[in-house]
Structure 1
């Protein structure tokens, strides 16, 4: 495929600034590019050693794959691993501050794990009923535990309770779900169930591995080394070497463990195992639509990481790669825990990831789930700005989702049955036309024949829309309501829509949370 130019978004932004809004509205959006926003924290963390422009021979996923990615709009992020057994919020991250005795217990918990409530078909049925077009699943989180049938082996690990303090010891195990009493390949069951239903698949995979001592010190590995600042390019942020160590001590709650630097043989073994596991995921589970890569390696091993990415492309050329840890080699990036406040300064595809509860792992307190209205508002907002929205819900250690989370997802599915036409496979309006005030958000059909106007608050009896021309709205409907709405054109107020008296009563409205007007006319671009 042709290489996509990196300056296209900057050129489009200049054009937009130079033209009146109405005039620019007649121009199509600039083409997709592959450049992370300069304000993105992940880009800033790696820009010192990952080349800005990828190697000439490298290619991204095809335009067809990008198009399919942009059509998705709504997805589910499922974090599930050993951390789920303990019911702690924060996925693997609390491991770093555990006392050494608890770390050792954590690492051995797999020996009794038997999540007998796990049902891949039920999980995918939940996706279907909730209007979710894809799911992301943690094949391996930072803790290093593989939720799939990996044939790779861990050769050395930390013994956290060794006499005289933590030490590296030899071992020989896969450290996977296949070594638990459960002995079922969770990734296989999920991908099979998803393929049957046409649900897109995104496999999360952490570059770092806190169980395998070969992976030290990358990605906040609990085993740090004397050369950590050099190896990781001080990934905790800019500053002096002393500031780097001070931040590590704070991160590890004073339990910082320093062991010898990895040998060349250990580095080679790390690279080979990392590459072999990614090869397994892209070989043994059919078509994989996305790989949600996470965490960074540093500058010294970037050439090996880059070679791994190239090999992934050879295995599945159209897999969409998250940019985490691979810079502009990625196909998409993920604003995490927020929806960008406006359309981004880049045309790189993006997917917001945002937990429904207090974190991405299991939330036992039903009152902590944010609600269907929160999902709907964020989904509409992200879609209007040209992105996708992925809501994060973690199952319990036994493999079931909290009833409150299920209820809120089901309610979202009911809302999408009414309003999905204005969400799925839509595109943003050009320039700043994605919104009007605080309560109006817009999308458009890909053929530019329809504008969808979402009302985040009920408008009352009269609604004025100033960013739509008369020729763009010769017909106005509310999705889920059978009759055309009465409209008129006013030079100052723009399109004035009269909302029927019948709909002023909440029980008569086609849905809750937000409402969508469908505007058709001569042109919409």
Structure 2
């Protein structure tokens, strides 16, 4: 994943690339429903919980820079290097990897995170066990480039195996838990072979020409995922990033970044998934952007499809501007975040909201405030979100529609300037018996108008529910 604070020109270019990427991710003709009944059951449960937490965290938080990408020798805005060694890639990489020797997040307290996420109404968590830079936030036996190494000051902390601590804390709050894992590894000598200078994000040699090297990398990847599936308790989701590591035959040439993949980088997902599900029956495997059997749900990044999609999908999105920690964040408003969740759910998706811990092991306090505000709204209106299904017309102007058995929910998404509901609203739905607004028990008067109903909202209700991010009409 990439940082999102960019120059205007870069942002415009990315928006055009993003349009192509989004267009690709909205095509669902290649989606394959899982055949394993346990996987199907877990996928159904995941679709019911709707709202999750993603955390990008690693040594890069010490510098407050984009996660991993400054190591990538591509001429892109999110790969920019800064600092006294920026002009020398080799020296820069050496200094970046030396962050391991100073990383000491002494305020690490996953119980506080789990408590805040639960009160916000989140129901699942995905944690970055390893990003593209290869630094492992778990106690792997495959490399010493890890948080539990004696080279890392935090290794003396009894909670140094942060992946285990995080999954345990969230599991204790009845969350579904998942492990983010980067398929590429820019620290591993069998991915970026030291003999060759890397040219871009991809493997820096031709795997067909050096099959032994690639075989060693495949085994390394398999062994690390096996550790995560074996030593960390029940795991619900294996969330794989770095979609350029894929079979050459799976490249979608309509997506610009996929056209630049030079080699077949097949890591044998069938072997990995079989092993992982032997360890974790029913495991959801999310091989991001690689359509087919091992992408149990699709993951548009920082984007929301413009229409309902009949397949399982999840928007992964930052609470602020950045996937990784930056000292001064620009957090989205609670209104924006709530309305985004409503929009996503009405189109049949889940929302995975990213918050980035800092080098001391804490979130920005403002992130906690946003979670409290979201939780306050969901405490009253959550029945329109959880365990619901989208209902046609799904999204229409300011309206979003969901249903739960015999109950229909129509959520009004106000503009920023609207602090109160109008005195009348027109709902483009069939007539009903009873209409109320969640947060008020007073039945509302309504009348039929063609294929719609006109609902009158009395002044006491408008005042009582003023300044909400969204208002939910309940029709039974």
TM-score between both structures, scaled by the size of structure 2? 0.80
In 2 relative to 1, CA 325–317 (structure 1 residues): closer, same or farther, beyond 3 Å? farther
Distance of 1:175 and 1:76 partners within structure 2:
23
Paired residues of 2:49 and 2:124 also in contact (CA < 8 A) = yes
- Choose from 271, 276, 279 the match for 2:223: 276
1:325 CA displacement: 5.7
CA contact (8 A) 1:222 1:257 kept: no
Residues 138 and 164, structure 2, Cα contact 8 Å, conserved in 1:
yes
Partner of 1:102: 92
d(CA) in 1 for partners of 2:121 and 2:50? 10
Distance 1:38 1:186 in 2: 33
What RMSD in Å do the two structures reach over aligned CA positions? 2.9
Aligned to 1:76: 53
Q: Retained in 1: the 8 A contact 2:31–2:291?
A: no
Report what 2:472 is aligned to.
516
In structure 1, the partner of 2:260 is: none
1:469 and 2:430 correspond: yes
| Whole-angstrom CA distance in 2 between matches of 1:485 and 1:499 | 6
Q: Is the 8 A contact 1:74 1:390 kept in 2?
A: yes
For each residue in 1:40-70, what CA deviation from the matched residue of structure 2 results, as whole angstroms up to 9, or x when unmatched?
26999xx9xxxx698x997485321111110
| Cα distance in structure 1, aligned partners of 2:135 and 2:34 | 34
* Structure 1 residues 510 and 63, CA gap change in structure 2 (3 angstroms): farther
Q: Which residue number corresponds to residue 6 of structure 2?
A: none
Pick the aligned partner of 1:202 from 173, 178, 184: 178
Q: Does 1:359 align with 2:317?
A: no
Equivalent residue, structure 2, for 1:157: none
Task: Choose from 457, 471, 475 the match for 1:499.
Answer: 457
Q: How does 1:125-524 map to 2 (within 5 A)?
A: 125-153=115-143, 173-179=144-150, 180-183=152-155, 184-216=160-192, 263-295=210-242, 296-299=244-247, 300-302=264-266, 304-324=268-288, 326-329=290-293, 330-344=295-309, 347-366=310-329, 368-430=330-392, 433-436=393-396, 438-445=397-404, 447=405, 449-457=406-414, 458-466=420-428, 468-470=429-431, 473-491=432-450, 494-505=452-463, 508-509=464-465, 512-520=468-476
Count of matched residue pairs: 413
For normalisation by structure 1, the TM-score amounts to 0.73
CA distance in 2, matches of 1:202, 1:480: 33
1:352 partner SS: strand
In 2, the alpha carbon distance for the partners of 1:374 and 1:322 equals 27
Number of the residue aligned with 2:7: none
Deviation at residue 136 of structure 1 after TM alignment: 1.1
User: Relative to 1, partners in 2 of residues 1:434 and 1:58: Cα closer, same or farther, differing over 3 Å?
Assistant: closer
Cα shift at 1:327: 2.4
Bigger CA radius of gyration: 1
In 2, Cα distance between the equivalents of 1:414 and 1:178?
A: 41
Cα–Cα, structure 1 residues 340 and 454, in superposed 2: closer, same or farther, change >3 Å? same
For 2:226 and 2:296, how far apart are their aligned partners in 1?
19
Q: Render the CA deviation track for 1:473-513: whole Å, top value 9, x for unaligned.
A: 20111111121111222236x211111111333xx217611
Counterpart Cα distance in 2 of 1:223 and 1:469? 66
Give the match for residue 63 of structure 2.
Answer: 86
Q: CA deviation at 1:266?
A: 2.1
Q: SS at 1:201's partner residue?
A: strand
Residue 314 of structure 1: how far off its partner (Å):
2.3
- Residue 335 (structure 1) shift: 0.7
8 Å CA contact 1:331–1:348 kept in 2: the answer is: no
> Do the aligned residues in 2 keep the contact of 1:479 with 1:510 (CA within 8 Å)?
no
**Cα-to-partner distance string for 1:336-369 (whole Å, 9 max, x where unaligned):** 011111112xx32111001111111113224x11
Q: Per the alignment, in what secondary structure is the counterpart of residue 197 of structure 1?
A: coil
Does the CA contact (< 8 Å) of 1:72 and 1:133 recur in 2? yes
